C-alpha cells in the first residue's frame, strides 16, 4: 500500500487494556492503531493489570484518560494523575470542561442580569437560577483549570490533551483562558472533538494556527453504507459527511493524531476496524505534495537566526541551498537578459560606429558567492547575443577559491576579485551591477549598506539589479513558536530577536502592509557617512480579521530586479515554488487577545548604532495595549556592519 506525505498516528479510545491479552503490540498493529486510549482508573481492572504491559509500552502506546468525575473531585484527579505517573504514561487526555451555556464571561453574566431586571418577575427568577448555575459551572471550570496547571508545573515528560468541541463557539475562548493561566505551557495541546449535525468547515478558521495535537472522531458520526450484495455477511462499509471529511483532510495535512472514539455498540473487530480503514483511505488520497513542498515540510516552525553574510563568511552548504533554488536564478537571468538588450540598444544609439564586440558591456556581480549568479549572467549574454566583460567580487576567501577554479559556460572569462565590495577601487566602472544580498525582510542582511558602498563601481547611467526592494509586515498568531521562546531561560533576548521561520501552524490576522522601501542606485548626495539615510520608521494600523491571540509579526519582502522582473515572498503574490527565503518572525513579549474587527497599532524602526558598527530593529505595539519597545539600542539582536 502506498504511503501519504503526512505523518498521522491513529488511536482508538476508550478501551481497557484487557481487550488485548496476547501480544499487545502485534494486536495493536493488526488493527492498524498506533495508540490506545484507556481510562485512568486507579481502582478496577486497569489497577490489577498494570503488569500486562511493559514500561516502554505504557509510555509509547497509551493515551491515559482523566475521568469527567475528576472535575468535581480533586481527590479523584490527583489519584488518576498519580496512577498515570506510576505507569509512566507520557500522553494524557484531560476531561473536557463543563459546558457553560451561552455566557462566556462573568462580566457578560452581570450585564445580562441588569437587562433581566426589566422583565417580569417569573422570567427574572428563572434567569437568575440559570445564571447562578452558569456561575457555578464556570467556577468549577476555573477550579479544574487550576488543577491542570498544578500538574503542568510539576511534570516535564508528558504531553497533555485538553479536548474541545469544534462546533462550540465558546471553545476557543475557554482554550485561550486555560493556556494563559498555564503560562502558555508548551506541552498542553488542544484536541478537537467533531460532533454530528454541524457544518464543520466554517469553524476551521477559529483553530487555524493553533497547535492542535489530536482530532477526536466519535464512531457514531459514520454513516453505514448498504451492502452491495444481498444477504452478504462481509465487513460493513462506512462514510462520513463531506464537510467532516474536508475538515479531517486539513488536520491530517498538519500531522495531527486521529483518535476514533467508540460509541454505542460498535465493536473493535468489526465496525471500528472498517471505520479506521475509511480514515486511512482519506489519508492515502490526500493530494501529493510537490517536490518543493516535501523538501520544506520538515522545516516548519523551526526558529533560525538570520544569516549575517557581511559579518560572517558563509559555509559551502549555505551556498548550496541558495543555488538549489532554480526559480530565483531563472528570474535573475531574465533580468540580466533584459538589461543587456536595453543597454545594447542604448549603446548602439549613442555610438552607432562602435561595435559591442570591441566594447562589451561591463557587468559586475558583487557578493558573488560560489558563482550562481555569475553563471546566469553568462547565459543571459549568450542568449541575448550581447557580449559582456564579467567581474565576480567576493570577500569570502573560501568561496573565492571555488570561483577561481570554476569551469564557466562557453569558456567565458570571469575576472575574480578577492575583496569587500565596499572598499574595492575598480580599474573601470560597470554598466550593470548585479547582487544577491537580500534577506527575508529585504534589508536585513545589509543590502542597503553594501550597495551604497559599492555604488562607486557603477557608472552614472548604470543599472542596479535589483533596483528596488520593499519589506512588509502583518500580525501573526503562532502559539507553537511563542511557547518555544517562552520556555527558554533567556526570555528577554528570545523575544527581542527576529527569526527566519517557515510558518507551519499559524494565522495571519490582517492584511499585509508595506514597511520599508530601498532603491538603488541613490543620488550621491543622498548617501550619508553616518548611514542615517538608511534608518527608517513606520507606524501601522491593522484591522484584525479573526479572534486570536497575537504573538508577534510575520515579515516578508519583494524586489524589482529589473523593470517587470520581480521576486516576492509576500503571501499576496509569492513567486511560485521559490524557496530561497522563509518569512521573518518578530515576536512580542506578551501575547495580545484580539477580536475580529479590533484595531492594532504598531511601530517598526530600522536603526544604526552610534559607533556605526551595527544595524538593528526595534518594534512595539501601541494599541490596544502599550508594550515596551523591543530590542532597544539593539541590546538583544543586531546585524554587524
Q: Return the pLDDT at 119.
A: 53
Distance CA 251, CA 194 (A): 12
What confidence category does residue 147 fall into, taking pLDDT thresholds of 50, 70 and 90?
very high
What sign does the dihedral 213-219-225-227 (CA atoms) show?
positive
Strands 414-418 and 614-623: unpaired
CA pair distance 346, 164, nearest whole angstrom: 67
In the predicted model, is pLDDT for residue 202 greater than 70? no
The mean pLDDT of 346-372, rounded to a whole number, is 90
Could you give the residue range(s) of every CATH 2.70.160.11 domain in the chain? 470-640
d(CA 559, CA 181): 43
Q: Which CATH architecture has domain 10-99+148-288?
A: Alpha-Beta Barrel (3.20)
- From the list 210, 283, 333, 445, the catalytic residue is 445
Q: Which three cell numbers stand for residue 255?
A: 500531522
Of 113-127, 245-259, 371-385, 552-566, the one with minimum mean pLDDT is: 113-127
- If pLDDT is split at 50, 70 and 90, which confidence band does 129 have? low
Helices marked H in 219-325 — which ranges?
Answer: 242-253, 271-284, 291-297, 316-323
Q: Which fold has domain 470-640?
A: 2.70.160
Query: Would the CA dihedral through 193, 198, 202, 206 be positive or negative?
Result: negative
* pLDDT for residue 373 is more than 50: yes
pTM of the model: 0.87
Provide the 10 A C-beta neighbour count for residue 227: 13
Host H or E run for residue 215: strand 214-218
Q: What is the DSSP string of 121-169?
A: HHHHHHHHHHHHHHHHHHHHHHHHHHHHHHHHHH--S-EEEEEEETT-T
pLDDT digits (tens, 9 = 90+) for 74-104: 999 999 999 899 889 999 999 999 887 543 3
In this model, does residue 268 exceed pLDDT 80?
no
CA torsion sign for 317, 318, 321, 324 is: negative
Q: Using CB atoms within 10 Å of the CB of residue 352, give its burial: 0 to 12 exposed, 13 to 18 middle, 19+ buried.
A: exposed
590 in a known ligand binding site: no
> Average pLDDT over the chain, rounded to whole?
87
Q: Based on the residue annotation, tell me whether 124 is a catalytic residue of this protein.
A: no
Average pLDDT of the segment spanning 351-374: 91
If phi over 0 gives left and psi between -120 and 50 gives alpha, with beta otherwise, what is residue 595? beta
Q: For the residues 477-488, what does the mean pLDDT come to?
A: 91
8 Å CB contact between 260 and 275: yes
Identify whether 283 is a catalytic site residue: no
Report whether pLDDT(213) > 90.
yes
Of 571, 550, 568, which Cα lies nearest the Cα of 560? 568
Starting from the edge strand earliest in sequence, which strands make up the sheet with 458-465, in order? 414-418, 388-394, 361-366, 430-435, 458-465
Do 96 and 165 touch, CB atoms closer than 8 A?
A: yes
Confidence at residue 197, expressed as pLDDT on a 0 to 100 scale: 54
State the DSSP code for 77.
H
CATH number of 316-436: 3.40.50.150
Q: Would you put residue 446 in left (φ > 0), alpha (ψ -120 to 50) or beta?
A: left
Q: How confident is the model at residue 1 (pLDDT cuts 50, 70, 90)?
A: very low
- Kindly report, as residue ranges, where domains of CATH 3.20.20.150 are found in the chain: 10-99+148-288
In this predicted structure, the answer to whether residue 45 has a pLDDT above a threshold of 50 is no
> What is residue 449's predicted lDDT score, i.e. its pLDDT?
96
Q: Assess whether pLDDT exceeds 70 at residue 327.
A: yes
Question: What pLDDT does residue 53 have?
Answer: 83
β-pairing, 548-562 vs 584-594, is antiparallel
Domain with CATH 3.40.50.150 in the chain: 316-436
Catalytic-role residue among 210, 283, 333, 436: 436
Eight-class DSSP state of 523: P
Is the per-residue pLDDT at 49 higher than 80?
A: no
pLDDT at 106: 39
Residue 20: pLDDT band (50, 70, 90) is low
Q: Note the pLDDT of residue 125.
A: 58
Mean pLDDT, residues 411-434 taken together: 96
Q: Looking at residues 39-62, what average pLDDT do you find?
A: 74
Amino acid at each position: 500500500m502506498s504511503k501519504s506525505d503526512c505523518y498521522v498516528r491513529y488511536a482508538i479510545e476508550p478501551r481497557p487494556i484487557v481487550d488485548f491479552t496476547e501480544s499487545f503490540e502485534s494486536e495493536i498493529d493488526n488493527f492498524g492503531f498506533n495508540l490506545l486510549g484507556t481510562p485512568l482508573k486507579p481502582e478496577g481492572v486497569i489497577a490489577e493489570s498494570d503488569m500486562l504491559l511493559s514500561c516502554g509500552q505504557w509510555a509509547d502506546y497509551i493515551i491515559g484518560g482523566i475521568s469527567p468525575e475528576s472535575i468535581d473531585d480533586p481527590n479523584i484527579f490527583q489519584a488518576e494523575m498519580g496512577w498515570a505517573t506510576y505507569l509512566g504514561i507520557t500522553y494524557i487526555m484531560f476531561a473536557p470542561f463543563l459546558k457553560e451555556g451561552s455566557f462566556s464571561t462573568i462580566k457578560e453574566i452581570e450585564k445580562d442580569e441588569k437587562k433581566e431586571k426589566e422583565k417580569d418577575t417569573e422570567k427574572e427568577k428563572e434567569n437568575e437560577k440559570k445564571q447562578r448555575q452558569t456561575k457555578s459551572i464556570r467556577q468549577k471550570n476555573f477550579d479544574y483549570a487550576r488543577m491542570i496547571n498544578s500538574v503542568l508545573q510539576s511534570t516535564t515528560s508528558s504531553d497533555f490533551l485538553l479536548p474541545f468541541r469544534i462546533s462550540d463557539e465558546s471553545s476557543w475562548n475557554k482554550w485561550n483562558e486555560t493556556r494563559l493561566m498555564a503560562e502558555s505551557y508548551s506541552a498542553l495541546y488542544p484536541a478537537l472533538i467533531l460532533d454530528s449535525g454541524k457544518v464543520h468547515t466554517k469553524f476551521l478558521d477559529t483553530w487555524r494556527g493553533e497547535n492542535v495535537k489530536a482530532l477526536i472522531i466519535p464512531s457514531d458520526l459514520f454513516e453505514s453504507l448498504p451492502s452491495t450484495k444481498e444477504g452478504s455477511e462481509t465487513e460493513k462499509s462506512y462514510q462520513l459527511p463531506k464537510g467532516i471529511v474536508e475538515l479531517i483532510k486539513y488536520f491530517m495535512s498538519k500531522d495531527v493524531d486521529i483518535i476514533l472514539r467508540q460509541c454505542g455498540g460498535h465493536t473493535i473487530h468489526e465496525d471500528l476496524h472498517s471505520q479506521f480503514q475509511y480514515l486511512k483511505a482519506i489519508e492515502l488520497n490526500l493530494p501529493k505534495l510537490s517536490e518543493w513542498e516535501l523538501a520544506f515540510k520538515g522545516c516548519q516552525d523551526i526558529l533560525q537566526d538570520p544569516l549575517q553574510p557581511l559579518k560572517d563568511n558563509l559555509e559551502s552548504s549555505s551556498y548550496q541551498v541558495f543555488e538549489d533554488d532554480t526559480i530565483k536564478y531563472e528570474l535573475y537571468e531574465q533580468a540580466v537578459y533584459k538589461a543587456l538588450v536595453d543597454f545594447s540598444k542604448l549603446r548602439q544609439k549613442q555610438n552607432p560606429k562602435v561595435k559591442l564586440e570591441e566594447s562589451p558591456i561591463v557587468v559586475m556581480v558583487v557578493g558573488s558567492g560560489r558563482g550562481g549568479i555569475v553563471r546566469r549572467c553568462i547565459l543571459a549574454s549568450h542568449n541575448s547575443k550581447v557580449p559582456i566583460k564579467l567581474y565576480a567580487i567576493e570577500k569570502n576567501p573560501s568561496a573565492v577559491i571555488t570561483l577561481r577554479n570554476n569551469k564557466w559556460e562557453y569558456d567565458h572569462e570571469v575576472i575574480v576579485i578577492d575583496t569587500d565590495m565596499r572598499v574595492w577601487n575598480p580599474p573601470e566602472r560597470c554598466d550593470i551591477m548585479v547582487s544577491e544580498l537580500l534577506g527575508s525582510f529585504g534589508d536585513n542582511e545589509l543590502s542597503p549598506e553594501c550597495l551604497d558602498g559599492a555604488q562607486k563601481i557603477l557608472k552614472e547611467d548604470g543599472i542596479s539589479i535589483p533596483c528596488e526592494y520593499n519589506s512588509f509586515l502583518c500580525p501573526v498568531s503562532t502559539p507553537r513558536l511563542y511557547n518555544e521562546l517562552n520556555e527558554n531561560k533567556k526570555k528577554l533576548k528570545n523575544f527581542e530577536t527576529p527569526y527566519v521561520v517557515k510558518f507551519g501552524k499559524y494565522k495571519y490576522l490582517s492584511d499585509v502592509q508595506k514597511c520599508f522601501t530601498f532603491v538603488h542606485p541613490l543620488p550621491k548626495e543622498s548617501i550619508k557617512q553616518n548611514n542615517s539615510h538608511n534608518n527608517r520608521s513606520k507606524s501601522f494600523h491593522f484591522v484584525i480579521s479573526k479572534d486570536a491571540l497575537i504573538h508577534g509579526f510575520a515579515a516578508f519582502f519583494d524586489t524589482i530586479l529589473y523593470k517587470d522582473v520581480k521576486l516576492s515572498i509576500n503571501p499576496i503574490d509569492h513567486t511560485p515554488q521559490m524557496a530561497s527565503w522563509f518569512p521573518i518572525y518578530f515576536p512580542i513579549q506578551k501575547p495580545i487577545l484580539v477580536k475580529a474587527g479590533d484595531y492594532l497599532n504598531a511601530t517598526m524602526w530600522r536603526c544604526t548604532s552610534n559607533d556605526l558598527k551595527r544595524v538593528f530593529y526595534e518594534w512595539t505595539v501601541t494599541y490596544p495595549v502599550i508594550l515596551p519597545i523591543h530590542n532597544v539600542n539593539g541590546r538583544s539582536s543586531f546585524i554587524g556592519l
